[in-house]
């Protein structure tokens, strides 16, 4: 658990520090948990959920996801290699050689599968880290005033053109 915990703690520190540096501490924490467009009661409930989700569960889920995938693969490999050992070395039941070869082949195939899972988990961890950092720098919904002004201008322009045609 030490390596997944350390990696998730590092990710947690990075996205919080980047968010605080980029937005400032007050705006970062306010924009992370507060949704001004929601009704007041819903806003309070969402603030509690987001506070726990972002600052408690996010690093835990990163660590647990990595640990669970590592443990599942290692347990499977251990089981198949133990069966191989029992069949071949200890001459367990009567199907020693056939059972030992079969479990050894399955264990070798599982090693390749484990490598695939490792690459997929590394990709997922990297993408989630990038998403968390991007969300920390830009917030939930980019509430940039320039973006809102440009959006209002593009909506208002066709309306003015239609009004101009109607009066002509």
pLDDT in tens, 75-131: 888 888 888 877 777 776 666 667 777 888 888 898 899 889 889 988 998 999 898
Cα 136 to Cα 51: distance, rounded to the nearest angstrom: 13
pLDDT in tens, 34-81: 877 878 888 888 888 888 888 888 888 888 888 888 888 888 888 888
* CA atoms 57, 59, 61, 63: torsion sign: negative
Residue 132, Cβ density class (10 Å: 0-12 exposed, 13-18 middle, ≥19 buried): buried
* Residue 81 burial (CB count, 10 A): 17
pTM of the model: 0.65
| Host domain of residue 26 | 2-167
Total domain count, the chain: 1
* Mean pLDDT in residue range 132-146: 68
* Tally of CA atoms within 13 A in the half-sphere of 163 that contains its CB: 5
Angle at CA of residue 23, ends 17 and 28, nearest 5°: 75
């Amino acid at each position: 658990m030490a390596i997944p915990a350390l990696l998730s703690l590092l990710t947690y520190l990075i996205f919080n520090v980047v968010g605080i540096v980029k937005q400032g501490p007050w705006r970062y924490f306010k924009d992370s948990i507060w949704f001004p467009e929601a009704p007041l009661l819903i806003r309070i409930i969402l603030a509690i959920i987001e506070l726990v989700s972002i600052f408690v569960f996010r690093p835990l889920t990163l660590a647990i996801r990595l640990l669970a995938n590592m443990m599942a693969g290692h347990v499977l490999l251990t089981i198949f290699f133990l069966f191989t050992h029992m069949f071949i070395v200890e001459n367990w039941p009567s199907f020693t050689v056939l059972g030992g070869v079969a479990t050894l082949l399955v264990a070798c195939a599982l090693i390749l599968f484990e490598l695939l899972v490792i690459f997929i988990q590394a990709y997922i961890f990297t993408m989630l880290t990038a998403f968390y950092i991007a969300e920390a720098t830009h917030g939930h919904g980019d509430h940039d005033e320039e973006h809102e002004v440009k959006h209002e201008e593009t909506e208002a322009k066709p309306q003015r053109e239609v009004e101009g045609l109607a009066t002509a």
